[in-house]
Structure 1
C-alpha cells in the first residue's frame, strides 16, 4: 500500500486560534490554548494519521508572528520562519471577526516569498457574522493562494475541507511518526505547557507574558506515582506573590487542575511539586532564555 506524508506550518497573527485549530485537526489536545496573545512559545507538532490509503499530516503549530519587543519575541519569530522553510505547505489562519490588517498582509508577503502552497483558514466563524466571513474571504482572495476555507476550530466545524485541500500536497513515502502518535512533544515540555496554560487562564494584564515554566524532572517512583518537579519563573518580586496567591490559593488551584490532566495523560497518580522563583527580566536576557530552552 502506498503511504504519503506532509509537514504543514500553521501560521498567523497572535490569538487567531492556531493552537485550537491544530487540536481540532488532530482530534485531541496537543497544544495549550488561552485567550491571551502569544500563548504558544514553541513549535508544536500535532500528527493526524488516516488509513485507506495510509497518509499522515504533521501540523506544526507556531507562535503568532508579531513585532518583537524583546529577545524572546525575536526568537519566537525565528521559529516561525524556520518552520516555513521545512514545510510542504502552510495553513495561514486569519480571524473572521477582525479586519485583515498590516500584520496579516506582512505574513501573506512572507508566505509568497517562501514559495510554499498556502491554504488560508478563516477561523472563528462560530462568533462571526456571515457578512464578516464573506468580507474576509473576499479580501484574502486578493492574495491568490492555493485555497480558502472558513472554519470554527473551537466547534470543530469545517475542518474536513482543510484535509481535502492538503491531501494532494502530500509526498509519497514512509510515515514520519508511528500511526498511534499524536504529538512528538517530550513529556517535560507538555507538563510545563499545561502548568502555564492554567496560569494564563487565571492571570490578567501583562503578568502572563512575564511567566515561564520549566519542568526539571519527571520520575516514576517505586510505588508507581509519577513525580513532576517544576519551577514557575516571573520577572519581579511583586509578581511572585500574585502567582502564589493569597495563602497559596492560586498556586494550589493551578497545581490541582494540572495534576488531574497529567494523571489522565500518564494513567497513574501524579505528585506535582510547583515552586516559584524570580528571574529578573528573563525575556530580555539571552542567557536566561538559553537556560529555559527557548
Structure 2
C-alpha cells in the first residue's frame, strides 16, 4: 500500500470543503457560501486499490477578530505539522490577497506543496487561468493545477498527481473507513450547516451548536441539541414567526442526518442566548473550539 497525508489550506470560502467531499464521495465537511463555515479540522480518508490518502480539511485562515477566530487559525496551522503534502487552494477569479500571503509565508519552507486553482468554472476565459498560474509561480510550488468540482476528470488528475507524493507503508485505516469524526459531531455540524444556509448577514457567525443527547436505538437515533446565539434579537430571528425558521432548520438537518446515518432520526432543537461565547475560553471549549 502507498499512503500520503495531505493538508488542504486556504482562505475562507475558497472551496476546501467542497473539494474534500468530492474526493471522498461523501458529504463530510459542511458547505455554504458563508466564509469560515469550517471550524474544525475534518479528516477524510480516500482509499483506492493500492493507495490511501488521508486529507485534513482546515478552517479558512483569516485575520482574527475574536478568540474564536484565533482558535480557527491555530487549528488550521496545526495541520501543517506531520503531513506529507500541502494543497493550497485559491479561486481562479480572485487575486492573491493578504490572507493568502499569510498562509504562503507559513508554508514557504514546506517541501511538498501544490497550488490548486479552484472554482475554474468561474473563469471568463482561458486567459484567467493563465494569469492565475503566473501569479502563483513566484511561490515555489512543485505543481500548479486547476480543478472544478463539476468536472470529475480534474479531480482524477489531482489524485494521479498525489500518487507521486505517496510512499510505501501499511494503511492507516481500513478500506471502508471515511473519517475519525463521530456521528454526534456530524449531527452538530449538519444542524449548523442547515442554520447557516437558511440565515443571512452576520447571524451565521454568531451560531454555535451543542448536542446534549445522542441516543442510538435499534431503529432510530434521537438527538437533543441547543443552538446558541449572542443576542436576544438573534434568538427571535432563529426561531422565526410561529417557530417557522427553527422548524425549517430542524427539518433540513434531520433529512440530511437520516440520509447520511442511514437511520430514522428524531431531532429536538432549542435556542439559547450566550452573550459572549465567541470571546469566552470556557464557552469555546464547551463547543469544541479549543
TM-score by length of 2: 0.96
- Contact 2:28–2:44 at 8 Å: present in 1 too? yes
Residues 142-188 of structure 1 show CA distances to partners (whole Å, capped at 9, x for unaligned) of 21211111111255451122112211212311111111112221111
> Do the aligned partners of residues 221 and 95 (structure 1) sit closer, same or farther apart at CA in structure 2, a change above 3 Å counting?
same
Tell me the residue number matched to 2:273.
278
SS at match of 1:93: strand
CA positional deviation for 1:197: 0.7
Of 113, 121, 127, 1:126 maps to: 121
Tell me the residue number matched to 2:161.
165
After superposition, where does 1:175-194 map in structure 2 within 5 Å?
175-194=171-190
Unaligned runs of 5+ in 1: none
Point out the more displaced range, 67-76 or 163-172. 163-172
Unaligned runs of 5+ in 2: none
| RMSD of equivalent CA atoms | 1.3
Tell me the residue number matched to 1:228.
223
Q: Distance in 1 between matches of 2:180 and 2:105?
A: 30
- Contact 1:119–1:165 at 8 Å: present in 2 too? no
Tell me the residue number matched to 1:50.
48
SS at match of 1:136: helix
Count of residues paired in the alignment? 288
After superposition, where does 1:264-275 map in structure 2 within 5 Å?
264-275=259-270
Q: Distance in 2 between matches of 1:154 and 1:69?
A: 34
Tell me the residue number matched to 1:37.
35
Q: Which runs of 4+ in 1 moved over 6 A?
A: none
Q: Distance in 2 between matches of 1:155 and 1:279?
A: 43
SS at match of 1:290: helix
Q: Distance in 1 between matches of 2:113 and 2:120?
A: 20
- Contact 2:16–2:89 at 8 Å: present in 1 too? yes
After superposition, where does 1:1-294 map in structure 2 within 5 Å?
3-51=1-49, 54-113=50-109, 115-129=110-124, 130-221=126-217, 224-294=219-289
- Contact 2:183–2:261 at 8 Å: present in 1 too? no
Q: Distance in 2 between matches of 1:23 and 1:14?
A: 16
